């Protein structure tokens, strides 16, 4: 499924309708479960003028194919361990450059999403995954990467495992 479709699917769930202004929704990260693939996200507060984020407020998962929410949990109940709940995080990306970075990330996501969780990718596929991961890290504010990795460790373990023997990765 294309990235825009995934985000639209989230907006159609009961969770998506709770989203508010001055909040930021993370990019959806696919997680392989016994029931198939679910998308995981987190929400945090975001001050666009100061480029600051709150620690994540909510973690959620949804089934994009079925258009239904699976879980919606306050980070007070299930906190991220990397920071305290009242932490204010200074963004590291220049907000004026984000549109171009997003378009590159979206393009790469759409190119590689069919490869997610594939075992033993070819060298060509690894090259695409490498470009995707670089576009992801370039777009996603570096200050938030720790939350993505905590939200979906199996995805990043898979991705980094596939790239482990890729020459450009080393």
CA distance 3 to 135: 14
Say how many domains are in the chain.
1
Q: In the chain, which stretches have pLDDT less than 50?
A: none
Listed as own residue / partner, the contacts of 95-98 with beta carbons closer than 8 Å and 24 or more positions apart are 95/48, 95/51, 98/139
CA distance 17 to 159: 31
With residue 107 as reference, give the H or E element that holds it: helix 98-112
CA distance 34 to 50: 41
- Among the listed residues 76, 16, 5, the one whose alpha carbon sits nearest the alpha carbon of residue 41: 16
**35-68 per-position pLDDT tens digit:** 889 999 999 888 878 888 888 999 999 998 888 8
Listed as own residue / partner, the contacts of 70-79 with beta carbons closer than 8 Å and 24 or more positions apart are 70/38, 72/15, 72/18, 75/42
Query: Which pLDDT score is estimated for 18?
Result: 62
CB-count exposure of residue 72 (10 Å: 0-12, 13-18, 19+): middle
Query: Which pLDDT score is estimated for 136?
Result: 95
Query: Which pLDDT score is estimated for 2?
Result: 79
Residue numbers of the domain that contains 70: 3-169
Query: Which pLDDT score is estimated for 122?
Result: 94
Q: Are 61 and 40 in contact (CB under 8 A)?
A: yes
From residue 54, give the alpha-carbon distance in Å to each of 22, 99, 102, 146, 155. Answer: 11, 22, 21, 13, 24
Q: Are 64 and 10 in contact (CB under 8 A)?
A: yes
């Amino acid at each position: 499924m294309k990235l825009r479709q995934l985000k639209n699917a989230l907006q159609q769930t009961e969770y998506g309708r709770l989203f508010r202004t001055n909040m930021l929704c993370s990019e959806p990260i696919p997680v392989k479960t016994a029931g198939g693939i679910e998308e995981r996200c987190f929400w945090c507060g975001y001050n666009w003028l100061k480029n600051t984020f709150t620690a994540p407020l909510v973690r959620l998962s949804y089934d994009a194919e079925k258009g239904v929410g699976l879980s919606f949990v306050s980070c007070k109940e299930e906190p991220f361990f990397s920071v305290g709940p009242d932490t204010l995080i200074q963004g590291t990306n220049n907000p004026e450059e984000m549109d171009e970075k997003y378009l590159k990330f979206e393009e790469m996501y759409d190119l590689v999403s069919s490869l997610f969780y594939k075992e033993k990718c070819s060298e060509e596929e690894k090259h695409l995954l490498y470009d995707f991961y670089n576009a992801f890290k370039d777009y996603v504010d570096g200050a938030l990467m720790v939350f993505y990795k905590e939200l979906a460790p199996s995805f990043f373990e898979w991705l980094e495992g596939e790239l482990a023997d890729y020459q450009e990765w080393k």
